[in-house]
Copies of this chain bind each other. A is one copy, B any other.
Amino acid sequence: MEKLKKYVSVKDEDHFYHQGAVELLIFNFLLILTILTIWLFKNHRFRFLHETGGAMLYGLLMGLIIQYVTKSPDVESGTVYECEKLKSGPSTLLINITDQVYEYQYKREISHHNVNGHQGNAMLQKMTFDPSIFFNILLPPIIFHAGYSLKKRHFFRNLGSILTYAFLGTAISCIVIGLIMYGFVKAMVHIGQLKQWEFHFTDCLFFGSLMSATDPVTVLAIFHELNVDTDLYTLLFGESVLNDAVAIVLTHSISIYSPKENPNAFDAAAFFQSVGNFLGIFAGSFAMGSSYAVVTALISFMHLTKFTKLCEFPMLETGLFFLLSWSAFLSAEAAGLTGIVAVLFCGVTQAHYTYNNLSPDSKMRTKQLFEFMNFLAENVIFCYMGLALFTFQNHIFNPLFIFGALVAVFVARASNIYPLSFILNLGRKQKIPRNFQHMMMFSGLRGAIAFALAIRDTDSQPKQMMFTTALLIVFFTVWVFGGGTTPMLTWLQIRVGVDPDEDLKAKDASQSASNLDKNTTKAESAWLFRIWYGFDHKYLKPLLTHTGPPLTSTLPEWCNPVARLLTSPSAYGDQLKDGDTDYIINNDELTENYEPSAHIPVPGSIQATGKEDIQEGDLGLGGYKLQLQHTACQPQKNSLA
């Protein structure tokens, strides 16, 4: 009320004080409530409403309160003014109103039919933040954290299945939803439930692609807490993280597609262009993300002559790490690629290379910092989704469409998981059991990404209806399926309280007992990754981190001058230490105890990565190495002598 008055009577003496403070305070208040609720839940072992569901509920209630308490429509809005002199909308508009010039900033283009819906109240309008804040500030920490805390050992064991689910599965899901919705829309137009809008097949595909992004947050938080079977966890984690990336690129490609001439006809050229776009954007984003991570690794590894290493200044190191990772996202977005994909692979690469170069202090700092940002961003997003039901002014609720979408989403999830699991089980030695498949089917929640993709474009009426529907499906799946996760786990008799390492050991032991030919089969299926890991261990790791054999020993004899050049003198000295090489060899032997399948000739094969696993034992990366780095990275006191 007060804020609104302030806005209309702009002459007010101190209108510029506490601008935006109230809105931020409301979010703070919601987050504090959420944290207190989480605390309460943790105490009462209450699992029927997850914290994300709680955050959403609070957002919803707050939206309701604001709606009713500050019910004073902005009288001026809803009126359209004519301006014949202008040809297009400039970014800034100066308007003379009763002898006073006001500056207005371009916000967006709206359709004529939205004009009437524009009589919302000013407070709610101000709570609506720009989708670009969502994409540029809130999503990157979540996705980066997912990449950074990826359990690589388990991930690579299931890489084939994960990639199948993520790429093929998401494509299937997108097409199935698109087809079903197209049928529904046609039927609705036929029975007169839907006016004849321009609802093309591409619009349906667009909806299909955005609804194919499953949410990694809610279910995985519960899984993590309960220590659910590691293979199931990894499959779901890998699938939902990669599937977000795929869905985002897919949505982007489809929105670029649009053959303008005849939107309903299938245009082969445009289709292949879209596929090309998809591959190009995906590959480009991947390259962008990885190269930023490699730059970070190089900088953190670099020790020029007369230069103290960066790891002696943990604050600078953390800052650089943070900024470069964020820049990976922003550069990709600025270049027209997909930032989410870039930041995901940036996270994976950072964990693989840069993490090893950090000082122990920075390892802790970065991990805690990213964890914290992830936590905050997650809860802000879920609170905001709750609020969006009220803050967004142009909802179009169409019960039939919503019902159709719900059906489509479940059919699509089923035709993703079950057929693909069947095909995968033909090739997998360690089958994906029935109850895992049911659980994966059940865990197809929709969350932040679907919401964010839907809110990006809400100009036309079909897009608004899609947004409303997507929001309601998010609510439904998070509350019903999120809340049902624990009972479902019990009902499907899935193991909980599993220690990941113990689990792996036990499984490997039982497997190597049951099928002796496993090692060879595994080695065959993973040959591509073995080659990659051999290359990684012999050349990339020595180049980018402190671990691995010195380049001079892995590169051919005649490359020695180059090898010497590529590592700085002091690093070269470090690398040649006997202890260090010992460490690597010992560690390889150690990991062999865990994973019998490591009996492959390439030194430092895929299993050696287990030691970089962040979530499990961050600072227990072998006492030796830690100590080695510690002596190299004691903060130096600068004094003016």
Contacts and interface: CB of A to CB of B under 8 A. Distances in A.
Interface residues of A, number: 123
A376 interface: yes
Contacts of A105: 104-107
Nearest to A87: B98
B131 A640 contact: no
A578 interface: no
A626 interface: no
A611 to B, nearest CB: 23
A191 interface: no
Q: When A and B form their complex, which 4 residue pairs have the shortest distance between CB atoms, in order from nearest?
A: A76-B90, A104-B104, A21-B333, A89-B102
12 contacts: A20-B132, A21-B339, A25-B334, A31-B323, A36-B299, A43-B307, A74-B92, A102-B109, A315-B371, A319-B376, A489-B640, A497-B641
Contact of A96 (B82, B336, B496): B82
A313 B573 CA distance: 43
A110 B20 CA distance: 20
A97 B92 contact: no
B97 A88 contact: yes
Given A313-B42, A496-B639, A639-B227, A90 B74 contact: yes
Given A39-B313, A76-B86, A368-B369, 16 more contacts: A8-B88, A13-B258, A20-B130, A22-B330, A29-B327, A43-B307, A74-B90, A76-B88, A89-B102, A102-B107, A102-B109, A104-B107, A105-B105, A226-B638, A319-B375, A368-B368
A19 interface: yes
A77 B106 CA distance: 12
A38 interface: yes
Contacts of A98: 86-88
A1 interface: no
Interface in A360-415: 364-365, 368-369, 371-372, 375-376
A291 interface: no
Contact of A18 (B18, B100, B333): B333
A24 interface: yes
A165 interface: no
Nearest to A307: B43
A326 interface: yes
Nearest to A337: B18
Interface stretch (A111-119, A562-570, A590-598): A111-119
Interface of A: 4, 7-11, 13-14, 16-22, 24-25, 28-29, 31-32, 35-36, 38-39, 42-43, 45, 74-83, 85-98, 100-112, 114-115, 118, 122, 125, 130-133, 136, 225-227, 252, 255-256, 258, 299, 306-308, 310, 313, 315-316, 318-320, 322-324, 326-327, 330-331, 333-334, 336, 339, 364-365, 368-369, 371-372, 375-376, 456-457, 486, 489-490, 496-497, 638-641
Contacts of A130: 19-20
- Counting chain B CB atoms within 10 Å of each CB, the highest count among A76, A111, A489 belongs to A76
A489 B640 CA distance: 11
Nearest to A338: B17
A65 to B, nearest CB: 16
B456 A334 contact: no
B225 A122 contact: no
A254 to B, nearest CB: 11
A131 B16 contact: yes
B107 A103 contact: yes
Nearest to A38: B316
A121 to B, nearest CB: 10
Nearest to A113: B101
A326 B29 CA distance: 10
B42 A308 contact: yes
A86 B94 CA distance: 14
A100 B14 CA distance: 36
A372 B21 contact: no
